[in-house]
Every structure is written in structure tokens, then in C-alpha cells.
Amino acid sequence: MTKTTYREALREGLREALKEDDRVFMMGEDVGRYGGCFGVSLGLLEEFGPDRIRDTPLSESAFVGAGIGAALGGLRPIVEIMTVNFSLLALDQIMNNAATLLHMSGGALNVPLVIRMTTGAGRQLAAQHSHSLEGWYAHIPGLKVITPSTLEDARGMLLTALRDPDPVLLFEHGSLYNVSEELADDAGAVDIERAAVRRSGKDLTITAYGGTLRTALAAADDLAAQGIDAEVIDLRVLRPLDEAAILASVTRTHRLVIVDEGWRSGSLSAEIAARVAEKALYELDAPIERVCTAEVPIPYAKQLEEAAIPRPADIVAAAKRAVG
């Protein structure tokens, strides 16, 4: 075991991918000489050279489009977009090309592209750098959407994503980069298909992902101190959802709290609630609870930002309503 950070685990995953396959290259704004907006690619330019670590102009649409073209040409591009807010400038490329070409070509044109981007609030970067829009992308057929919340997943999800023949979007929550924990020395590729039970429990199910997983686990500890045994599921993959894992847990606990840093209206949390209502309604002993971000642009002021996003106390309160 080695003590490392989420940022370093991501970098080690990138390094292994670049070593493993000569077709892999990375590009984006400041990924080379600057080492990436959040330092994830620091040192990779010196190690692999400018042909494989490419700084791009400030045009998300252009470099995502170039990545799609490279993927169609047989390469394995990793495109970094600084934040999910900026990905909206490339939404046309992501939705109308990357996600669609396989279907429009009758299965002839795969787009093996990986797009990494930072998401989430909690760092006082205000509304244009802090939103959680991964639920929007999870709406789009043709994309796979993954959200590493642990160091093991940060290290291993990228490798598996690069082996996928179709586009994969990898969302890194900005609050996780400095998280430091032990990681197995032989950590490597992990599945990008299934959710994971991060804490077993019998009284209720809490689903979370990405940056909200630690918030949910903290809430579960608080609940345990009050005699409520919560099971915490890390969704890991937002599209396609591991619906079976959610339904199996709800069937055991009969209560559900969904934690989602996206806005409540039209959200991933709404999708999960609908599926449970459709397929496990009679397993529920209480209404489904949702803990989401307040429906405002993320504030800059620290106390307002903290009040806007899901907090352990909010999850505890929702859980108590569920158990009655």
C-alpha cells in the first residue's frame, strides 16, 4: 500500500495508459506546460513529449471535435475539459457527433474517445466553475458516464474507459483532488459497469456518487450513532445506471434517500426515484427522499455555497423522515 492522493492516482492512470498503448494521447487547455488546470497531468509532457501531451487553443468545440476525428482515425484520445461548465461550449460535438455517429452510421463508426472534466462545488469558484451537470450527460444515449469517488476508481476507471469502443465521459469532483489515502500498489483497471456498496446497512439505502459519497458516508456515521443503520451505495456509473444494485438494496432496506449535487428538477435523482417507483414501489415503507443542490447558481460566498449543496445534516434529516 502507498499513501497517495486522488490527483496522483488519476495521473498514474494516465501514465499507465500512455505507456500501455502508443495510440493514446492527451490534449486540452494547459495540460502540457502548465500540468493541467488542477495539476493532474503535471510532468507528463516531459515524460511523453509534445506529440502525446498536447496543449490546445481555448476552444472546447475545436479540440473536442479534433478528439472525435482522431478517434475515428484509429487513435485513443483523452480530452481534458477544465470544468463541466466549459463543456457546454463543446456540447454540439459531444452530443451530435461523439454520441450519435455510431447510430447514424448503422454501427460502422465507433468513437473511442474519453473526455475528462472537473465537476462540482465546494471550492469557492462561483457559478461559472462549480455546477454539477453530469446528470445532463447521463440523459444522452450513446455516452457512458462515470464518476470515480475513490482513489481506486480514480486510478483504474480511465484504463477501462480507453478500452471501450464508444465515448466515455469521466467526471472528477474538484473537492477530491487533494484527498489522500492508501492505495494498493497493484491497483489497476476496474469495471465501469456496476455500483458498489460502500457501507452495508439494514434500515435505509442512501445512493450517492462522486463528491457526494463522502458526504453520504459521514451522514451514515452520524445516523449510526443515533441507532439508524444506513446502507450507502456508490453509483459509480451514471449511464447506464446499475439499476439492479439500487433495487436490490431498496428491497432489503425498504427506504431510499437519494443524494445528488445536481439541481432537483429534471435531475438524476428524479430518474432514480422514478425507476424505483416503477419497479419496487411495493417494497417501499416510506416516501423516497431526495437531497439535492438548492435551485440557484452556485454562490461564491463560502457560507452560502455550503448552504446550497448537500450536507451531512441534510442527509441525516432526510433519513430520519424516511425511517419515521
Q: Which residues are catalytic?
A: 60, 129
Burial of 118 (0-12, 13-18, 19+ CB in 10 A): buried
Among 86, 32, 38, 78, smallest CA distance to 58 is for 86
Q: Could you tell me how far CA 295 lies from the centroid of its own chain? A: 20
Burial of 109 (0-12, 13-18, 19+ CB in 10 A): middle
Q: Could you tell me how far CA 74 lies from the centroid of its own chain? A: 26
How far, in Å, CA of 114 to CA of 76, rounded?
8
Name residue 309's amino acid: I
How far, in Å, CA of 324 to CA of 318, rounded?
10
How far, in Å, CA of 227 to CA of 54, rounded?
53
Query: Among positive and negative, which fits the CA dihedral 196, 199, 202, 204?
Result: negative
Neighbours of 61 (CB within 10 A): 14
Contacts of 136 (CB under 8 A, 6+ apart): none
The answer to whether the CB of 231 falls within 8 A of the CB of 201 is yes
For the record, the C-alpha cell of 202 comes out as 439494514
Neighbours of 256 (CB within 10 A): 28
How far, in Å, CA of 156 to CA of 13, rounded?
6
Contacts of 296 (CB under 8 A, 6+ apart): 308
